[in-house]
Structures are given as C-alpha cells and as structure tokens.
C-alpha cells in the first residue's frame, strides 16, 4: 500500500458544494481542470457532495488528464456512514468510481462514524483493496476515542493494513485538535487532511490575519494555508471555484513561515489549553 507517496501534493482542491447548482456545473468543472493545470495533485470529494454530482464533475475534469496521467493525482472520496457496512461500502465505492470514470481511488474514507460496526466497514475496505479499487483507507471526523476503537476493529478483523489518514476540521480559527487528536494521530502514524482550512472562507477576510499577511507580502488565505503546512505530514484541501483563488491558494506550498510570524499567529489565534469535543462541519 505504501509504494507511492500518500499524497501527490500538499495543497488539494475541495469540492464540497460543487455540483449543487446545475447552472454552475460547467464553471466548476473548468475550475477543477484549472487546479490540475496549476499543479494540484490532490482532489477531495465524497458521494455525499451534491448527491454524487461533485464526483461526476471531478471525473469530467480529470478527463483526458487521467487517461494517461491518473497515477499523478491523489483522488480522495468518502462513503456515507449509513452505507458503511461491508456490502454497502463496496457498492458505494463502485458507484463513486463509475461517476468519476476512474479505475481506483487513492484514499477512501469513512465520512464520519455511524451505526455500522467499524469491523464491517474495514472488511469492505479490505475487499476493495484486494480488488485494486482503493489504494488506502482512512476516516474522517474521528476523535482520539474513535481512532482507538478503529484500531481495535482493525485488529479484530486481522487487517493487514491500517487507516492512513483522518480528515478533520483544522484551521487557525479551529485549533482544538492540537491538544489531543494531533498527538494521537502522530503516535498512530495517521496523516492529517485538514478540511475547511480557510475556516469555510472566513479567514480570508479576517482583519488581523490580513494585516499580518500583507506585511509578509501574502494574502490571508495563503498565510492560513502555509500555517497548516508547517506540520510536515499535513495536507490542506481548500475549496474554490475561482481561477485566481485556486492559484493563490496553490502558492501557499512555497511559503516558509518564520518563528516570529508563527508566534504572532499564536497571539491572534490561541492554541487550545484543554481537550475539547471535535468540531464537525
Ligand atoms: N470530511 C468532512 O466532513 C468535510 C467537511 C467540510 C469540508 N470538507 C472538505 O474540505 C474542503 C474545504 O472546506 P470548505 O469548502 O468547507 O471550506 P474552505 O476551503 O475553508 O473555504 C472555502 C470558501 O472559501 C472561499 N475561498 C477559497 N479560497 C479563497 C481565497 N483565496 N480568498 C478568499 N476566499 C477564498 C471559497 O469561495 P469560492 O469557491 O467562491 O472561491 C469558499 O467559499 C471541502 O470542499 C471538502 O472537500 C470535508
């Protein structure tokens, strides 16, 4: 499972809310294709997003690129919890692949914890892996307790593979995971996929952040994304359908933040001092 890097780029494109308005579909598809042209090699989607339409847009945008360069892109999708018994997980993945016109997913995640046993979801993931339909499996919106239960479930089914990533809300304005979840993920060797890294867009307009960013010749969005990438194994998946923002966000890849900027950010956005329930959007 580990022959290629876990993620082909550290900035990925989110696709939540794409596909919801048919009049925007063409522009959204062009935006995804533009991200690939700019250099994004990570795309995040889910069967939930616009009831599968977001996945279809991803498939369309990947189009000719994927026909000969599919292996260059890390494609992530997610199974809904109410589909996530063994049979439902397999069927959901097959449907996602049909919509994306792809042979395999790089990461297939349980979108959040539901009522099906983790064992049955893992059995579905293992069958998909055996059939070459997924390269890695992971979870989303899991707190430390859920990760522990997941690891126990992996042991219960004798899984030869382990959860590789946990996709959770992480942004300057939502740092709660730093207290307990992030250390637990580091111990368990589980990579962080930071969703809503721009605080669903709010951080791009934040006055204090904008001021500090301008002093560095950056935008607030770039500073917010570069701050996440200070974690060596983290990736961030901002969503945008605007070409200029897609390019702006991509440039965060290149930014190294000084200790002085990091400490000013710590003053603007306080680190957690105690465990808090995981925030889920
Ligand atoms: N696993 C989960 O449960 C879960 C939950 C939430 C999200 N996600 C994933 O994470 C992705 C990102 O999260 P998100 O969409 O909630 O929030 P986000 O990426 O933090 O913010 C997206 C918003 O910011 C705007 N934006 C993007 N770049 C900008 C820039 N440079 N300057 C100003 N505004 C900018 C976008 O508008 P425009 O599009 O108009 O540019 C959009 O309104 C989702 O698309 C989805 O793939 C996963």
**How far apart are alpha carbons 140 and 149 in whole angstroms?**
14
CB count within 10 Å of CB 255 equals 17
Average pLDDT value over all residues in the chain: 97
Confidence of residue 1 (pLDDT cuts 50, 70, 90): very low
Average pLDDT over residues 245-265: 97
- With a 6 Å cutoff on the Cβ, whether 214 touches ligand 1 is no
pTM for the whole structure: 0.97
**pLDDT on residue 151:** 98
Q: Which of 14-30 are b and which e, b meaning 16 or more Cβ less than 10 Å from the residue's Cβ?
A: bbbebbeeeeebeebbe
Residue 3 predicted with pLDDT over 70: no
Residue 3 domain-assigned (yes or no)? no
Residue 10 predicted with pLDDT over 60: yes
- With a 6 Å cutoff on the Cβ, whether 145 touches ligand 1 is no
Range of the domain at 157: 13-268
Tokens of 144: 């430390």
**pLDDT on residue 4:** 67
Average pLDDT over residues 100-128: 98
Which atom of ligand 1 lies closest to the CA of 16? Answer: 45
Strand order in the sheet with 74-79: 13-14, 42-44, 74-79, 105-110, 134-140, 165-169, 191-195, 235-236
- With a 6 Å cutoff on the Cβ, whether 139 touches ligand 1 is no
Residue 203 domain-assigned (yes or no)? yes
**pLDDT on residue 200:** 98
Residue 88 domain-assigned (yes or no)? yes
Residue 259 domain-assigned (yes or no)? yes
pLDDT in tens, 28-67: 999 999 999 999 999 999 999 999 999 999 999 999 788 8
Question: How many structural domains is the chain composed of?
Answer: 1
Give the CA count within 13 Å in the CB-facing half-sphere of 134: 30
Average pLDDT over residues 222-234: 96
Residue 127 domain-assigned (yes or no)? yes
Distance from the alpha carbon of residue 115 to the mean position of ligand 1, in angstroms: 28
Residue 6 domain-assigned (yes or no)? no
Residue 8 domain-assigned (yes or no)? no
Here the CATH number for the domain that contains residue 26 is 3.20.20.100
Average pLDDT over residues 163-182: 98
**How far apart are alpha carbons 52 and 100 in whole angstroms?**
9
Residue 278 predicted with pLDDT over 70: yes
* End-to-end CA separation in angstroms for the chain: 30
Which atom of ligand 1 lies closest to the CA of 239? Answer: 19
- With a 6 Å cutoff on the Cβ, whether 12 touches ligand 1 is no
Residue 281 domain-assigned (yes or no)? no
**pLDDT on residue 2:** 45
Whether 213 and 219 have beta carbons less than 8 Å apart is answered as: yes
Q: Which of 65, 66, 56, 69 is nearest to 25 (CA)?
A: 56
Q: Which of 195, 214, 244, 252 to mutate to test the pocket of ligand 1 (most atoms within 8 A of CB)?
A: 195
């Amino acid at each position: 499972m580990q022959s290629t890097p876990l993620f082909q780029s550290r900035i990925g494109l989110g696709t939540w809310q794409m596909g919801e308005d048919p009049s925007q579909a063409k522009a959204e598809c062009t935006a995804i294709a533009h991200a690939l042209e700019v250099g994004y090699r990570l795309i995040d989607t889910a069967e939930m997003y616009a009831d599968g339409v977001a996945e279809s847009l991803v498939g369309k945008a990947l189009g000719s690129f994927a026909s000969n360069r599919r292996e260059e892109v890390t494609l992530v999708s997610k199974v809904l919890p109410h589909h996530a018994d063994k049979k439902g997980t397999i069927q959901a993945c097959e449907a996602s692949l049909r919509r994306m016109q792809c042979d395999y997913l790089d990461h297939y995640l349980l979108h959040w914890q539901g009522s099906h046993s983790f064992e049955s979801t893992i059995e579905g993931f293992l069958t998909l892996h055996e059939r070459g339909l997924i390269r890695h499996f992971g979870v989303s919106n899991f707190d430390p307790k859920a990760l522990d239960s997941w690891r126990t479930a992996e042991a219960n089914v004798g899984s030869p593979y382990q959860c590789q990533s946990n996709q959770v809300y992480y942004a300057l304005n939502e740092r709660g995971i730093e207290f307990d979840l992030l250390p637990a993920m580091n111990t368990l060797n589980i990579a962080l996929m930071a969703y809503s890294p721009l605080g669903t867009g709010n951080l791009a307009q934040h006055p204090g952040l904008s001021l500090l960013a301008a002093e560095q010749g950056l935008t607030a969005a770039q500073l917010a994304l570069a701050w996440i990438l200070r974690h060596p194994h983290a990736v961030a998946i901002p969503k945008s359908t605007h070409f200029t923002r897609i390019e702006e966000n991509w440039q965060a890849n290149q930014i190294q933040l000084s200790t002085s900027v990091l400490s000013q950010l710590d003053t603007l956005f306080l680190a957690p001092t105690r465990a808090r329930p995981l925030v889920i959007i």
